[in-house]
Amino acid sequence: MDAISTGSVSLDHLIRGHSSYTGKPQCPGIPRGRITEIYGEENTGKTTVALSTAAKCQESGGSVCYLDFNCALDPSYVQKLGVETAGDNWHYFMPTTWEQGAEIIKVMVKKGVDLIVVDSVPSMMTEKGLNTRLLGEIFKSK
């Protein structure tokens, strides 16, 4: 199975870099065509791993779609990690609802994008949830 390196040999090995029972190394890194979840406490490096993986994907000629539900991505940090944001191999979106994100993902999958990053799943809100929250804030302020 083909994989995308995270940029860390140790992490790639932990994900799937060990040898199979045949002695052949399995895919080192994040397997293509699969969903891989990176989870942990805040400020533990999840976004950094995702961006390092994006840079490695681009280095090997791949394209990346980044959905920033947190609306907190720092462009200078992205470039510092080696992600090329100026070309056709970087697609950056800031969806406000889960439904918008799902539509973007469908389009990007059909387009053949190599890596789709969703940052972050807990920040994804449905249209109904967003509307309920907004209504609650409106009534609180009155």
User: Which residue ranges form the domains of the chain, and what is each CATH number?
Assistant: 1-36 (no CATH), 40-141 (3.40.50.300)
pLDDT in tens, 67-116: 999 999 999 999 999 999 999 999 999 999 999 999 999 999 999 999 99
pLDDT in tens, 18-32: 556 666 666 678 988
Q: Are 59 and 126 in contact (CB under 8 A)?
A: no
pTM (global) more than 0.85:
no
Q: How many angstroms separate the Cα of 75 from the Cα of each of 46, 65, 78, 119, 121?
A: 16, 15, 5, 15, 20
